Amino acid sequence: MSKIVMKLDELSCPSCMAKIEGALNTTNGVEMAKVLFNASKVKAEFDDNQVTATDLVSKVEGLGYVVQKSKVTEI
């Protein structure tokens, strides 16, 4: 199991949090995704045999959010 932390430019409302969590938590291979609203961060645990960190970043960006690529950490 791999982990990723993504720093976003900004989250403006709690519905943004639900939108991101819903999209990631329904992605095959994602075990858990959690948005830290006040920190504008997304944490996720995933099976890298099914989905990659790059896929998860792309998914969040596809929802219209800006991921600070220099602040993406894979654990």
Tokens of 71: 């602040």
Per-residue pLDDT reduced to its tens digit, 9-64: 978 888 999 999 999 999 999 999 999 999 999 999 999 999 999 999 999 999 99
Residue 28: domain span = 2-74
pLDDT reported for residue 3: 97
Please tell me the pTM assigned to this model: 0.92
pLDDT reported for residue 1: 92
> How many domains is the chain partitioned into structurally?
1
Residue 65, pLDDT above cutoff 90: yes
List, as one string, the DSSP characters of 12-53: -SHHHHHHHHHHHHTSTTEEEEEEEGGGTEEEEEE-TTT--H
Looking up residue 60, the CATH number of its domain turns out to be 3.30.70.100
